[in-house]
Structures are given as C-alpha cells and as structure tokens.
C-alpha cells in the first residue's frame, strides 16, 4: 500500500502506547482458537492483548523496525522476568523503579540489545510508556498549564460520578483559558511535534478544536476515573489502579501471556503488503490501527478491493482514524459497520473520529 508513512524517518520509538482500546478490539474481531490474526505492532500493546485471547497465531507487522524491537524487548521481559520488573520498566511505578529493574534485566539481554536499551533508558529514565515521540508530546501538555488547572484536572479524573466531573469542569476549567490552551497545544502545527506533519496530508479537520470537542463530549458521557487513556493523557502512567490498565499489563494475565508467546510471529514490513502476500493468505482477521489515515482516498478504495478478493480467508478488518472518515467502496466485497458511536466511552480513547469494521460479504 502506498502510504505517507514511507516518507517518515523510522529511526526511533514513535509510539510507546497503543491508543486503540482492547475492548473494541475484542468485541469487533471476536477472536477464536482457529484464528490467525494480524495486528499492527506499534507499541505492541494490542499484539499482547490479542495473544491473551489464545488464537492460533498472532502476526505483528510494522514498517518501523524500532517498534518491533520494542515488542521484542517486552517479550524478553515477559519470558525471563517477573511482572514487577515488566511493569516497572513500562513506567507504572515511576522513575525510581526503572533503574533497579533495568539493572536486573540488562545482564540477561544480548550485547546489542543491552547497549541499545541501556542508552534508551538513560534518555528516558521514567520508563517506556512516556518515552514515545507522540506520548512525550501529549504528556507535555499538562506541564504547560498553571497549577490551578493542573489541580482541577487531577480532581476531574478522580470524580466518582459523571455529574460530579461535569460540575468540576464547569466550575474550575470552563471559565479559564483551558480551552484556548488545549486547542493551541494540539493544533496541527504543534501536533507535528508528536506526529510527522506528512501524516496529516489527508486529514479532513484540524486537530486542536476537534480533539477539544471530543474531550468535552467525553467529560459529559464517560467516567474518566475508569478510563486508562484519559488518565494517561493528562497525568501519565503512575498511580493507576490495576483494574484500568490494558489487559496485557495486568498482573493476573501475566502467566497466560507468557504461555502464549509461542503463538507470536513478528514481521518487519507493511501490513497490507503482507496480507496480499503468500504468507498472509492464511490471516483470518486484522487490526490495522490507523494506517489508512496515511493513505489517499483512491488508495484506500484500491486496497479495500484487493483485500476483498481474499475471500477464502480474511473475514474481518478493523481500523481507526483520528481526523478523517473512510468508507469502503460498495464493490469492494466488504460489509461495513461504523463502530464510532458503539465503543465504550469508559474504556476507549476520546480522540478517535472514525472506527470501522469491515466484514467479508458471504459469497
């Protein structure tokens, strides 16, 4: 597939967290023991989340070899270390927990990986989750706010009821310049600090105001206290209750995750190209993150038609978009379901505009 992602430097961890929620992933793909499921690697979270469902095989694919290296590092931690070490290096327990955890892990790594990850954690002493290009940019917003607005946000995500958080927002944030600060920080020009500007070539709206309006809707409909993504967005990975973490990071799932690692295959490459290759012809379902955000409308239509011809195997394709909507052509062989208004606001990230599931039309 022709994608603007080919024009981006793929030499660093661009994403240290997967922002597509596991609840939507599980509900839409409905994994079974017979499935071979392709998942965009990104930060590896949804690769591991799908592994927890015990399909026959999970194929993790990414154009950026550094993202696959991050997944391999997580696999090493899961295979050879405790859940406590795993979560510490993710950053859930703060920077003070990272150094001793790395001291235990480093001697168990191959020489080249030891050098890379030692250098990585020197540059990112608070752990992996805050370290991605996108995540470090997002987390920077909170630091730009005056103390009164920071404190209001902290109270907002601790409210026990939606009506209570609405009251906090109306009383403590709405009368201030919070809206202006949010929109200016996340507008298209500034957003390029977190995402390469070439990735917005086909965007249909400006980021700042769109994201702010979605956040307001989120405040009015979802209990932020229970939403991992909202809490991380403003306050980072620390002080999060185990129950709100993505499944792959929860202690109760660690043993099953370790047991299922032999079902995982990692591929450096482009996901659509893999699906259309001989190796990809056995894939039954795919979670493609937001890769179509970087493709033109014509290219998206072309890809839908090509994937629709994989009628013998590929049954479901799930994708997310932030700033545009894309509809599969009627002649593509897909029955399309728009999931945007069906996702659980208590669990999903607020900033996605368009979430869709393509189901293969029975022949």
Is there a domain that residue 97 lies in?
no
pLDDT of residue 38: 99
Given a cut of 50, is residue 337 above it in pLDDT?
Answer: yes
pLDDT of residue 204: 56
Is there a domain that residue 54 lies in?
no
Given a cut of 60, is residue 6 above it in pLDDT?
Answer: no
pLDDT of residue 5: 45
Is there a domain that residue 151 lies in?
yes
Average pLDDT of every residue of the chain: 92
pLDDT of residue 1: 59
- Mean pLDDT for 59-76 is 97
Binning pLDDT at 50, 70 and 90, where does residue 295 land? confident
Characterize 35-74 residue by residue with b for buried, 16 or more Cβ atoms within 10 angstroms of its Cβ, and e for exposed: bbbbbbbbbbbbbbbbbbbebebbbbbbbbebbbbbbbbb
- Mean pLDDT for 17-43 is 98
Report the distance separating Cα 177 and Cα 16, nearest Å.
Answer: 30
Is there a domain that residue 169 lies in?
yes
Q: CB–CB of 223/161 below 8 Å? A: yes
Binning pLDDT at 50, 70 and 90, where does residue 280 land? very high
Of the candidate ranges 5-14, 90-99, 212-221, 306-315, the one whose mean pLDDT is the lowest: 5-14
Is there a domain that residue 89 lies in?
no
Report the distance separating Cα 31 and Cα 25, nearest Å.
Answer: 9
Is there a domain that residue 146 lies in?
yes
pLDDT of residue 7: 46
Is there a domain that residue 207 lies in?
yes
Report the distance separating Cα 62 and Cα 269, nearest Å.
Answer: 5
> How many structural domains does the chain have?
1
Is there a domain that residue 227 lies in?
yes
Domain that holds residue 199: 136-240
Binning pLDDT at 50, 70 and 90, where does residue 277 land? very high
């Amino acid at each position: 597939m022709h994608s603007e992602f080919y024009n981006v430097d793929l030499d660093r961890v661009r994403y240290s967290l997967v922002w597509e929620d596991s609840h939507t992933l599980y509900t839409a793909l409905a994994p079974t023991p017979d499935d071979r499921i392709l998942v965009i690697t990104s930060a590896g979270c949804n690769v591991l989340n799908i592994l927890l469902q015990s399909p026959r095989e999970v194929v993790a694919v990414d154009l950026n070899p550094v993202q696959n290296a991050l997944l391999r590092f997580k696999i090493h931690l899961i295979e050879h270390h405790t859940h406590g070490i795993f979560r510490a290096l993710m950053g859930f327990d703060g920077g003070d927990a990272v150094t001793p955890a790395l001291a235990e892990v480093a001697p168990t790594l191959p020489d080249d990986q030891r050098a890379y990850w030692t250098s990585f954690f020197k540059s990112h002493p608070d752990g992996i989750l805050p370290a991605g290009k996108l995540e470090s940019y997002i987390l920077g917003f909170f630091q730009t706010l005056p103390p009164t607005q920071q404190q209001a946000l902290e109270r907002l995500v601790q409210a026990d009821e939606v009506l209570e958080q609405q009251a906090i927002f109306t009383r403590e944030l709405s009368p201030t310049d919070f809206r202006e600060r949010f929109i200016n920080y996340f507008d298209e020009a500034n957003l390029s600090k977190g995402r390469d500007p070439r990735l917005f070539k086909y965007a249909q709206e400006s980021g700042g105001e769109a994201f702010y309006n979605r956040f307001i809707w989120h405040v009015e409909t979802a209990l932020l206290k229970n939403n991992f993504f909202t809490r991380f967005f403003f306050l980072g990975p620390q002080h999060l209750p185990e129950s709100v973490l993505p499944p792959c990071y929860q202690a109760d799932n660690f043993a099953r995750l370790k047991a299922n690692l032999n079902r995982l295959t990692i591929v450096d490459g482009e996901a659509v190209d893999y699906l259309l290759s001989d190796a990809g012809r056995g894939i039954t379902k795919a979670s493609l993150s937001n890769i179509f955000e970087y493709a033109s409308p014509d290219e998206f239509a072309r890809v839908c038609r090509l994937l629709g011809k994989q009628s013998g195997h590929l049954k479901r394709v799930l994708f997310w978009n932030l700033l545009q909507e894309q509809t599969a052509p009627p002649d593509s062989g897909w029955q399309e379901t728009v999931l945007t208004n069906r996702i659980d606001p208590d669990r999903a990230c607020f900033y996605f505009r368009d979430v869709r599931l393509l189901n293969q039309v029975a022949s």
